[in-house]
Amino acid sequence: METNETSEVARALSVGKPARLALLWRGDRQARRDATPQNNRLSHVFEALAALGIRAEPAVYADDLALEVREQLLKLDGVFVWVNPISDGQDRTTLDAMLRDVASRGVWVSAHPDVILKMGVKEVLHRTKRLGWGTDTHLYRSARAFREEFPPRLQSAGPRVLKQNRGNGGQGVWKVELVSATSGAEIVRVLQAVRGSVPEDMSLGDFMTRCGTYFAAEGSIVDQPFQPRLPDGMIRCYMSADKVVGFGHQLVKALIPPPPEGPDSEAARPGPRIMHPASATAFQTLRTKMEAEWTPQMMQLLDIDAESLPIIWDADFLYGPRTASGEDTYVLCEINVSSVFPFPEQAPPEIARRALDRLLSAKTTRNTKND
């Protein structure tokens, strides 16, 4: 059912040409040729957009198709982007340059690469550590700082979790715990969050050398304490701009040693992510904090205005220590902006409504500049 606000936006758009929007994801030329609004994982988003009168089309992307996709986007009012930071050895360097270009020419982009660099990187955990979702978080911007500062912190603070600044799928995320504390010859047990990983004992020096690649291209490493309640699961809070649109709860297995059956066994697989609506009773405390406290505080701290917030993003939380009265606390472990999927079934209508609002604003701005 349309709200009054949505109806007004729809009527305003109907005065001129219908809004046109692309949904962009990675593929190859054949996938680009074959793509339709119905034959992909985002079909429900296409349906929700069409229900509000928005003409949405696929824009399958590959680096060797960047110029072709650019020409497509320049004919449209906006684009939603679903592309991971790292995938099969590919990054977003070429894509982000193209998206910045089309955005500078008046095409609305969600999420804009500059917003991703503020929200969708692990450094956000350090920048926002003083918010209610924060914890004892540290940032290493160079291999030298890492070598000087991490060993004493590991010895004094217990098991830590290290995260490369940009990544997905558990790549570059490690649990590190001290096995032997002999000065100058510390042995650590490390476990990567990538599915199928097994614990490995090695010298701390060798492990830190292995992490040296994370500092390439102005990279960095974020360091957080390991959360003992990890087996209780992860809560994914799905956001459309500044409003919660649902939750997902999953019993994760990343950073937990595999069972005796082995890392590829059924017992080592994470549990299903159980989706819940925004109204789910179990998560109302977290919803209130996200909408009324943490998201506004994050926006102010990172200098992100309401119009620039991604249409779909999520914040992943682990359970922190319980309070003295037994209430749960929450620790932010990641914000996902680049390619949020899957999401609750309640999300597509809200995504479409938000898109309609933003597209009207973008069209108005574009028309004003052209007058």
DSSP character at residue 291: I
pLDDT reported for residue 369? 58
Question: Reduced to 3 states, what is the DSSP secondary structure of residue 177?
Answer: strand
DSSP per residue, 212-248: GGGGGGG--EEEEE--TTGGG-EEEEEEETTEEEEEE
**Residue of 215, 195, 172 whose CA lies nearest to 85:** 172
**Residue of 116, 102, 136, 94 whose CA lies nearest to 22:** 102
pLDDT reported for residue 364? 64
| Rounded Cα gap, residues 301 and 35, in angstroms | 40
Find the radius of gyration of the CA atoms of the chain.
22
pLDDT tens for the chain, 371 residues long, are 344 444 444 444 444 578 999 999 999 999 999 999 999 999 999 999 999 999 999 999 999 999 999 999 999 999 999 999 988 888 999 999 999 999 999 999 999 999 999 999 999 999 999 999 999 999 999 999 999 999 999 999 999 999 999 888 889 999 999 998 776 689 999 999 999 999 999 999 999 999 999 999 889 999 999 999 999 999 999 999 999 999 999 999 999 999 999 989 998 898 999 999 999 999 999 999 999 999 999 999 999 999 999 999 999 999 999 999 999 999 999 999 999 999 999 999 999 999 999 888 766 665 655 55
pLDDT reported for residue 367? 60
Residues composing the chain: 371
The amino acid sitting at 113 is P
Tokens encoding 83: 């592309």
| Rounded Cα gap, residues 222 and 128, in angstroms | 12
| Rounded Cα gap, residues 160 and 299, in angstroms | 28
Question: Reduced to 3 states, what is the DSSP secondary structure of residue 132?
Answer: coil
| Rounded Cα gap, residues 115 and 224, in angstroms | 23
pLDDT reported for residue 3? 47
- What is the side-by-side order of every strand in the sheet holding 138-140? 138-140, 221-225, 160-164, 173-180, 187-192, 200-203
Question: Reduced to 3 states, what is the DSSP secondary structure of residue 367?
Answer: helix
Is the peptide bond between 111 and the residue preceding it cis, with omega within 30 degrees of 0? yes
| Rounded Cα gap, residues 84 and 79, in angstroms | 16
In this structure, the dihedral spanned by the alpha carbons of residues 116, 121, 126 and 132, taken in order and rounded to 10 degrees, is 70
pLDDT reported for residue 7? 43
DSSP character at residue 90: B
| Rounded Cα gap, residues 247 and 315, in angstroms | 10
pTM of the shown model: 0.91
Strands 78-82 and 20-26: parallel
Residue 199: CB atoms within 10 A of its CB come to 13
Residue labelled with tokens 């977003």: 92
